[in-house]
């Protein structure tokens, strides 16, 4: 979630996912790395999914078919579908947060920024 949020730059999602990661025991330095787009310390069993999630977000949900195949090979079709469901949910949250920030910006005549 942090890796996708780093691509979409939603401050609400960054705050929420950072808070959840801290509660789950993820060290601050790993959170900072993920928010900066660095997945070098990602657990091996999660790395394919995290890198794919970033690609999915960066490609505006139009992932390369070869990338989808790699995820399916790594996790199976059922888990890949679950990953896509989570990615869509994260995207909706990011879009809502960023839209809200733009709304605040417009009604404040540019005084409030995200």
Is 112 a member of any domain? no
- Is 35 within a domain? yes
Number of structural domains in the chain: 1
Q: Domain of 36?
A: 2-107
| Single pTM value for the model | 0.83
Question: What digits encode the pLDDT tens for the residues 70-111?
Answer: 999 999 999 999 999 999 999 999 899 999 999 999 999 998
How far is residue 107's CA from residue 102's CA, in Å, rounded to a whole number?
Answer: 9
- Dihedral angle over CA of 29, 51, 70, 95, nearest 10: 130
> Percentage of the chain surpassing pLDDT 70?
99
113 assigned to some structural domain: no
| Residue 51 placed within a domain | yes
Domain membership flag for residue 114: no
> Residue 91: inside a domain, yes or no?
yes
């Amino acid at each position: 979630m942090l890796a996708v949020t780093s691509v979409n730059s939603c401050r609400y999602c960054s705050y929420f996912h950072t808070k959840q990661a801290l509660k789950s025991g993820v060290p601050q330095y790993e959170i900072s790395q993920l928010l900066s787009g660095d997945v070098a310390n990602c657990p091996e069993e999660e790395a394919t999914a995290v890198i794919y999630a970033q690609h999915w977000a960066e490609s505006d949900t139009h992932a390369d078919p070869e990338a989808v195949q790699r995820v399916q090979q790594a996790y199976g079709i059922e888990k890949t579908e679950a990953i896509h469901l989570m990615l869509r949910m994260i995207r909706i949250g990011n879009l809502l947060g960023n839209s809200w920030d733009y709304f605040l910006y417009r009604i404040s005549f540019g005084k409030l920024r995200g």
